[in-house]
Chains A and B, each alone.
Chain A
Amino acid sequence: MAKVIEGLYYSESHEYVKIEGEFGYVGISDYAQHALGNVVYVDMPDVDDEVEAGSEFGAVESVKAASDLIAPVTGVVVDKNEALDDQPELLNQDPYQNWIIKVELSDKTELDNLMDAKAYAAFCEK
């Protein structure tokens, strides 16, 4: 059973965003890392790049497949998790601790389009 954490917002493509003030930490859910299998490469945007909700902002490559990362929110990338360059397996170990990018949100109302933990857990069950 995949772990779902309270207080985060989740997308149907299995990214989460964790809100701290004006910023959001974006990563992939435990369900996603489990489905992907061993992650071997993470393709991340650069700091100052813009990401748009619903659009691809990078990719995660596992031994099974390469999957696009879809931004759950719109904004500017203010930081990226560079540890993933050398240790992509961190996403398997703890995907919630190891966010991928930190975004300065441009529109907080976008969060209304995402699922809360309860809705996401039910979505994964389907």
Chain B
Amino acid sequence: MNNRLYGNLIFELSQEGRRGYSLPKNRFGSYELPASMRRAEDAQLPECDEMTVVRHYTNLSANNFGVDNGFYPLGSCTMKYNPKINEEMAALPQFSGLHPLQPAETTRGAEAICTLLCKSLCELTGLHAFTLKPFAGAHGELTGLMVIKKYHESRGDESRRLVIVPDSAHGTNPASAAVCGLEIIEVKSLSDGTVDVEALKALLAEHGPEVAAMMMTNPNTLGLFERQIPVIQKMVHDVGALMYYDGANLNPMLGAARPGDMGFDVMHINLHKTFSTPHGGGGPGAGPVGVRQGLESFFPNVSPYHGNFAVAMRAYAYILSLGRENVKLVGPLATLNANYIKECLKDVYELPIEGLCKHEFVFDGLKDKSTGVTTMDVAKRLLDYGYHAPTIYFPLLFHESLMIEPTENESKETIDGFIRVMRQIAEEAKTDPELVKSAPHNTPIGRVDDVLAAKHPITTYRQLKADLS
């Protein structure tokens, strides 16, 4: 890696007048845009030759860290490996060359893939129908809540404005409800992290006729299975509300248990989590929404075509390459890996809730808090050892949350290596706490000032220049 080039912004490599491309000689005479359509000042673009651009971005990309580089135990995100066969299938020209507006009789193959994927998702979740239109998980949540809202409205039941979410929920749940024009009420968790059924009972007694839905993640954000789900779903349905399943934690359930069988009416799936399609900025994403029988007529039209078809293609390739039998191994292996790490580390990291977890678990920081080494410090120090950091400071139920999700993909050797390093960091926290508190030391950029970054974010080159002058 070339640190000098990496250390520069592309704007800083700019040389006035330098070009990476030359236009052919104009053979057609000149045409000037009318003055009213011209921009008042020149666009401030960097001026670089092609090779400088290529080197800059290649060096930059070498500093990326993905699941193809190493272990990525980012809790709640299910950073499983994206098998390369997914990419090969999505890149087949018969699919990648499609245009959404070409005649329907020429796109039957793509439509068949969509239908077959929906059928597979129905079988895996126990629901009746799926739409592939939503472009991401949060978009799926919004779509699912729109289904619920329309369902209630169709029955003339317009007073249902409330959505119940557990206090351990993902932040997207209240956000999606708010975007959908619904209001949130929170239900407390018990000390073991699961929904407090008594508190829920009180909420439903007070607000019953106003409740549109309860949103749940099962297993919840602490990686714990909600054992009271049969009771909960009955209580919620008894007041006329629907059950929404946040599919963020579907992975450990895959092939083992189905949201439809648990009494959920509507759910979304993050294809980039459970079904091995690329994540986040590497997306685009896809958040299919499934419903039980009778609700499919309420699917809103949230995108003009088939959503992100190439993502659906990857997910279907994943399902087919696993097959009906192997898909049943996903959940148990993800669960085994998480429990193995938890048990091997709980003598040095604080485990707030004992017992079996599913695909992920949460430590409340180091067991020995006397050193002053925080979860943030541990996460930064992990970077020095070449691991992606776990999720930190979520869920909010604990002050020093450190959330680890290994997925089913990792070998015992990789996991043992991670455990050794986590123990090593716990040891360093005692013997040389400053080393951990000032980490990372081996990365291109050291400890960043996150307070300054939050208070005074610099997001453009122009702003940086103004700040420097």
Contact = CB atoms under 8 A, between A and B. Distances in A.
Contacts, number: 20
Interface string A35-52: 100101100000000000
B394 A65 contact: yes
A88 B153 CA distance: 44
A106 interface: no
Contact of B451 (A35, A40, A65): A40
B393 A65 contact: yes
Contact of B455 (A40, A64, A65, A67): A40
Contacts of B105: none
Nearest to A63: B450
A65 B397 CA distance: 12
Nearest to A40: B454
Contacts of A67: 396
Nearest to B396: A65
Contacts of A88: 455
B227 interface: no
B396 A38 contact: no
B399 interface: yes
Interface in B440-469: 450-451, 454-455
Contacts of A65: 393-394, 396
B465 to A, nearest CB: 24
Contact of A38 (B392, B394, B451): B451
Contact of A63 (B394, B396, B399, B451): B451
Contacts of A40: 451, 454-455
Contacts of B451: 38, 40, 63, 89
Contacts of B455: 40-41, 88
Contacts of A38: 450-451
B454 A41 contact: yes
B393 A64 contact: yes
Contacts of B396: 65, 67
A67 B399 CA distance: 12
A40 B457 CA distance: 11
Nearest to B392: A64
Interface string B247-259: 0000000000000
Interface in B45-70: none
Contacts of B394: 65
A100 to B, nearest CB: 18
Given A40-B454, A41-B455, 12 more contacts: A35-B399, A38-B450, A40-B451, A40-B455, A41-B454, A63-B450, A63-B454, A64-B393, A65-B393, A65-B394, A88-B455, A89-B451
20 contacts: A35-B399, A38-B450, A38-B451, A40-B451, A40-B454, A40-B455, A41-B454, A41-B455, A61-B454, A63-B450, A63-B451, A63-B454, A64-B392, A64-B393, A65-B393, A65-B394, A65-B396, A67-B396, A88-B455, A89-B451
Enumerate the 8 nearest inter-chain pairs by beta-carbon distance, A residue then B residue, closest first.
A40-B454, A64-B393, A38-B451, A63-B450, A35-B399, A40-B455, A65-B396, A63-B454
